[in-house]
Amino acid sequence: MSAAVEVDKVTRRYGALRALDEVSLTIEQGELFGLIGHNGAGKTTLFKLMLGLLAPDAGTIRIHGQDIAGAAFREVRRGIGYVPESVVFYDHLSGAETLRYFADLKGAPRGEVPDALQRVGLSDAGARRVKTYSKGMRQRLGVAQALLGRPRLLFLDEPTSGLDPEGIHSVYRLLHELRDAGVTVVMTSHILSEIQERVDRVAILNRGHVQALGTLQRLREAVDLPLWLEAQVVPAAMDAVRAALTQLPVITQRDDGVRRLAVQVRREHKMAVLARLSLFDAQISDLHVREPTLEELFLGHEEAGQERRHGED
Amino acid sequence: MARIEWRLLRVIAAKEFRERLRNRWVLAVALVFAVFALTIAYFGSAQQGMVGFHGIDVTIASLVSLVIYLVPLIALILGFDAIVGERERGSLDLLLSLPLTRAELLLGKFLGLSATLALSTVVGFGLAGVALAVQGQGTDALLHYAGFVLSAVLLGMSFLSMAVALSVITTDRARASGAAIALWFGFVLVFDLLLLGALVTVGDSPLGARVLPYLLLLNPADVFRVLNVFGFDSVKVFYGLATVFPDTLTSPWVLGGVMLAWIVLPLGFALWRFRQ
């Protein structure tokens, strides 16, 4: 079976600026893939190239094994759904009419419209004009539109921007449902804390390059940022715990002097430190490991990248 | 290049049309046309000391200027945001990611907007036509009037075509609307003034007299005027211009062909640019 998206050495310039410089990545069928990066990192350009809205200056992009701008472009495009970051639909059409319009354009049966409305929780608002919709409802209508034609591949550009926590949660729930049903989901985000535990793999884009690509676990191992062990200690035992830690390979430790203690350790020393702390079973009421966040990883990568660049100079 | 799927043109055109029926655009414009047309048809000869409905030729001559001012303006307003509006609201990328071509999107929009404009024009000016029919005008006169309304629709389509081209080449709605207004000034007001200036300056020279009438073909509004005014002998006399006009220019087929070119060429340009 072919991959959902294959990007092979793609370069795209705007004048002298290389928005993307020989970018390669493969997105497998059925994964939830996050594309992250700062504004101007190239993620919008990459998104537009994958959707066939822009043509690469060099390299190739294949969607389900085919060229999106080639002779079979209608067939390829029928297999994808796209949710733009912010889209203002037509004020004077109702939600259901809007979806019927897009169903007609996609060649999807109009019978899918009620189901699409239901999946995004707009069944009751389907007959109302879009003019009366809130921002969150418009966003959900955008998602419903992308589901028409039952595409195997979905692109979502910042799908949760401007949504309240409940809305964000329901978007991810839907994306996970789709992923579990075998749909490939590609999304961009710049809110790293939000995306980090919710996607299968990420690509971090920076200045037109793929800086890192893989599962969060792999990225964490690759960057090898230290972990934090955080413990709640009985106040009377604080000194003893502190003393025990000084004999261990910890990078730094800090505490509030009363009951909270945090220790930074390298990944390879995690088990040793945990083993030592477990001897204080009765004095430690809570202990947990905090992995570096995607944000920290991202910054770590950026620093690593800069060092590399300096090294090249 | 992919073959055009007519089904998609119909879907896009139908949506444009329905939206403007829904937001009462069609109704509002038809009312404006009807009120102006009836007023001018009734009072158009007041300068000659008469009011009331008169012969069809005189009525059409009175309505021609109204059409030249109003129809291009309405067409430009209707079409200037066809593409740039979608771009601004973020839906253009979405449409272009669908299994349809840019040609289908552009032509579908043009057809839908044309149908919108045609309906408003036919209903608006049709009401004045009904008033004329009630006055007991003959079949010939009513056919003339129908031809006048048809040519008004074509005039509207030519400006719509230019508006759509503007909406392709501009980057935001504000610029597009500015350019549309400039286009209206240029074709409806400035062009004729320049031509008059040229007529005064070089009109007496043999070359000037021969070339100037053809310059009218460079403006669809003037093509419309010539088509409707010089088609009738009585009006020609009325305008006192019968003699300066070469016969080829008064052939409805030549003028109709030029009008069609004014519809097709800007649209073709728009399509070419949209594909870049």
Percent of chain B surpassing pLDDT 90: 59
Q: How confident is the model at residue B231 (pLDDT cuts 50, 70, 90)?
A: low
Number of domains in chain A: 2
pLDDT for the residue A87: 82
The answer, yes or no, to whether residue A139 has pLDDT greater than 70, is yes
pLDDT for the residue A29: 94
Instruction: Flag whether B183 is in a domain.
Output: yes
pLDDT for the residue A311: 39
Instruction: Flag whether A273 is in a domain.
Output: yes
On whether both A232 and A120 belong to a single domain, the answer is no
Q: What number is the average pLDDT over the span B120-132?
A: 90
pLDDT for the residue A249: 83
Instruction: Flag whether A304 is in a domain.
Output: no
Count of residues making up chain B: 276
- Host domain of residue B91: 6-275
The answer, yes or no, to whether residue A263 has pLDDT greater than 90, is no
A26-80: per-residue pLDDT in tens?
999 999 999 988 777 888 899 999 999 999 999 999 999 998 888 889 999 999 9
Q: What number is the average pLDDT over the span A147-153?
A: 96
- Host domain of residue A53: 5-221
The answer, yes or no, to whether residue A305 has pLDDT greater than 70, is no
Number of domains in chain B: 1
**DSSP states along chain B:** -PPP-HHHHHHHHHHHHHHHHHTTHHHHHHHHHHHHHHHHHHHTTGGGT--S---HHHHHHHHHHHHHHHHHHHHHHHHTTTTHHHHHHTHHHHHHTSS--HHHHHHHHHHHHHHHHHHHHHHHHHHHHHHHHHTT--HHHHHHHHHHHHHHHHHHHHHHHHHHHHHHH-SSHHHHHHHHHHHHIIIIIIHHHHHHHHHHHHTTSHHHHHHHHHHGGG-HHHHHHHHHHTT-HHHHHHHT-GGGS-HHHH-HHHHHHHHHHHHHHHHHHHHHHHH-
A105 has a chain B CB within 8 A of its CB: yes
The answer, yes or no, to whether residue A310 has pLDDT greater than 70, is no
- Calpha distance A116→A114 (Å, rounded): 5
Q: How confident is the model at residue A135 (pLDDT cuts 50, 70, 90)?
A: confident
A280 has a chain B CB within 8 A of its CB: no
The answer, yes or no, to whether residue A11 has pLDDT greater than 60, is yes
Please tell me which residue of chain B has the smallest CA distance to A55. B276
The chain-wide mean pLDDT, for chain A, equals 86
B28 has a chain A CB within 8 A of its CB: no
Domain of A74: which CATH number?
Answer: 3.40.50.300
Task: Measure B183 CA to nearest chain A CA, in Å.
Answer: 27
On whether both A102 and A182 belong to a single domain, the answer is yes
Name the least confident of B46-55, B67-76, B107-116, B161-170.
B46-55
Please tell me which residue of chain B has the smallest CA distance to A98. B15
The answer, yes or no, to whether residue A279 has pLDDT greater than 50, is yes
What is the ipTM for the molecules in this complex? 0.89
A14 has a chain B CB within 8 A of its CB: no
pLDDT for the residue A125: 94
On whether both A106 and A152 belong to a single domain, the answer is yes
> Cβ–Cβ of A104/B91 closer than 8 Å?
no
pLDDT for the residue A307: 47
| Residue from the list A77, A88, A142 with its beta carbon closest to the beta carbon of B97 | A77
Between A162 and B110, the more confident residue is B110
pLDDT for the residue A274: 85
Which of A97, A99, A105, A128 is the best mutation test for B, with the most CBs of B within 10 A? Answer: A105
Instruction: Flag whether A303 is in a domain.
Output: no
Task: Measure B27 CA to nearest chain A CA, in Å.
Answer: 15
User: Domain boundary residue among A201, A221, A241?
Assistant: A221
| Residue from the list A75, A84, A93 with its beta carbon closest to the beta carbon of B94 | A84
Percent of chain A surpassing pLDDT 90: 44
Chain A residue numbers touching B98 (CB-CB < 8 A): 77, 102, 105-106
| Residue from the list A74, A77, A88 with its beta carbon closest to the beta carbon of B91 | A88
User: Domain boundary residue among A171, A197, A221?
Assistant: A221
Q: What number is the average pLDDT over the span A253-281?
A: 83
On whether both A280 and A173 belong to a single domain, the answer is no
